[in-house]
Chains A and B, each alone.
Chain A
Amino acid sequence: MIPAQFQYAAPASIPDALALLQSNPDAKILSGGQSLIPLMKFRLAQPAMIVDLNNIGGLDYLRDEGGWLKIGALTRESQLEDSALVREKYPLLYDTTLSVADPIVRNRATLAGNLAHADPANDHPATMLAYRAQVVATGAKGNRTIPIDDFFQGLFATSLASDEILTEVQIPAPKPRSGGAYMKMERKVGDFATAGVAVQLTLDAAGKVEYIGIGMTNVGLQALRAKRSEDALLGELPTAHFIERAGLFAQQDCDPNADLRGSVEYKRNLVRVLTMRALEKAVARAKGNG
Chain B
Amino acid sequence: MAEAMGFGHSVKRKEDARFLRGRGNYIEDIKFPGMLWLDIVRSPFAHAKIKSINKEKALATPGVAAVITGADLVPYKLAWMPTLMSDQQMVLPVDTVMYYAQEVAAVVATSRYAAADGVAAVEVDYEPMTPVLDPHKALESTSPVIRADKQSNRIWHWEVGNRAAVDDELANADVVVAEDIYIPRIHVASIETCGCVAKWDPVEGHLTLYMTTQAPHAIRTVVALVTGHLGLMEHKIRVISPDIGGGFGGKVPVYPGYVLATAASVLTGAPVKWIEDRTENLQADSFARDYHIHGELAATKDGKITAMKMGVVADHGAFDAAANPSKFPAGLFSIATGSYDFQKAFAEVDGVYTNKPPGGIAYRCSFRVTEAVHAIERMVDVLAQKLEMDPADLREKNFIKPEQFPYKSATGWEYDSGNYKGALDKAKAMIGYDALRQEQKEKRAKGELMGIGISTFTEIVGAGPSHTFDILGIKMFDSAEIRIHPTGKVIARLGTKSQGQGHETTYAQIIAEELGIPEDDVAVEEGDTDTAPYGLGTYASRSTPTSGAATAVACRKIKDKARKIAAYLLEAREDDLEWEKGKFFVKGAPDRAKTIQEIAFAAYTNHPQGMEAGLEAVDYYDPPNLTFPFGAYICVVDIDRGTGQVKIRRFVAVDDCGTIINPQIVDGQIAGGLTMGMAPALLEEIVYDENGVNLTGSFSDYLLPTAVETPKWEMDKTVTPSPHHPFGAKGVGESATVGAPPAIANAVVDALSHLGVTNIDIPITPPKVWAILKEKGVAL
Contact = CB atoms under 8 A, between A and B. Distances in A.
Interface of A: 1-2, 4-5, 43, 102, 185, 187-192, 194, 260-263, 265-266, 269-270, 273-274, 277
B766 A194 contact: yes
Interface residues of B, number: 32
B120 A269 contact: no
A56 B592 CA distance: 80
A266 B645 CA distance: 12
A188 B779 contact: no
B120 A273 contact: no
B770 A266 contact: yes
B38 to A, nearest CB: 13
Interface of B: 112-113, 116-117, 120, 277-279, 642-645, 683, 687, 695-696, 700-701, 703-706, 708-709, 765-767, 770-771, 774, 779-780
Contacts of A189: 706, 708-709
A40 to B, nearest CB: 12
Given A1-B277, A262-B767, A270 B696 contact: no
Contact of B642 (A187, A265, A273): A273
Contact of A187 (B277, B278, B683, B780): B683
Contacts of B113: 2
Contacts of A274: 643
Contacts of A102: 706
B706 A185 contact: no
In this complex, the member of B113, B643, B705 whose beta carbon has the largest number of chain A beta carbons within 10 angstroms is B643
Given A2-B117, A269-B770, 12 more contacts: A2-B116, A43-B120, A188-B705, A189-B708, A191-B703, A192-B700, A194-B767, A262-B767, A263-B767, A263-B771, A266-B766, A270-B642
Contacts of B705: 188
A270 B643 CA distance: 6
Contacts of A2: 112-113, 116-117
A251 to B, nearest CB: 12
A170 B120 CA distance: 42
Contacts of B112: 2
A185 B643 CA distance: 8
Contacts of A188: 683, 703-706, 708-709
A261 B708 contact: no
B115 to A, nearest CB: 8
B709 A1 contact: no
B363 to A, nearest CB: 19
Nearest to B780: A273
Nearest to A5: B117
A4 B61 CA distance: 12
A102 B705 CA distance: 13
B766 A185 contact: yes
A4 B687 contact: no
A1 B279 contact: yes
A188 B682 CA distance: 10
B18 to A, nearest CB: 25
A5 B120 CA distance: 12
A260 B706 contact: no
A185 B646 CA distance: 12
A215 to B, nearest CB: 19
A188 B708 CA distance: 8
A266 B775 CA distance: 12
A99 to B, nearest CB: 12
Contacts of B703: 187-188, 191
Contacts of A265: 774
A68 to B, nearest CB: 34
22 contacts: A1-B277, A2-B112, A2-B117, A102-B706, A185-B643, A185-B645, A187-B766, A188-B683, A188-B708, A189-B709, A190-B706, A192-B700, A194-B766, A260-B695, A261-B767, A265-B774, A269-B770, A269-B774, A269-B779, A270-B770, A274-B643, A277-B642
A262 B766 contact: yes
A4 B766 contact: no
Nearest to B708: A189
A5 to B, nearest CB: 8
B160 to A, nearest CB: 37
Given A1-B277, A188-B683, A266 B644 contact: yes
Contacts of B644: 266
Nearest to A261: B767
A120 B113 CA distance: 32
Contacts of B704: 188
A215 B120 CA distance: 40
A284 to B, nearest CB: 17
A269 B780 CA distance: 9
A4 B642 CA distance: 45
A192 B700 CA distance: 9
Contact of B117 (A4, A194, A266): A4
Nearest to A258: B767
Given A188-B683, A188-B709, A260-B701, A266 B767 contact: yes
A275 to B, nearest CB: 11
A273 B643 CA distance: 7
B463 to A, nearest CB: 35
Closest 6 CB pairs of A and B: A262-B767, A2-B116, A273-B642, A266-B767, A189-B706, A189-B708
Nearest to B644: A266
Nearest to A187: B703
A43 B121 CA distance: 13
A269 B767 CA distance: 10
Nearest to A43: B120
B696 A260 contact: yes
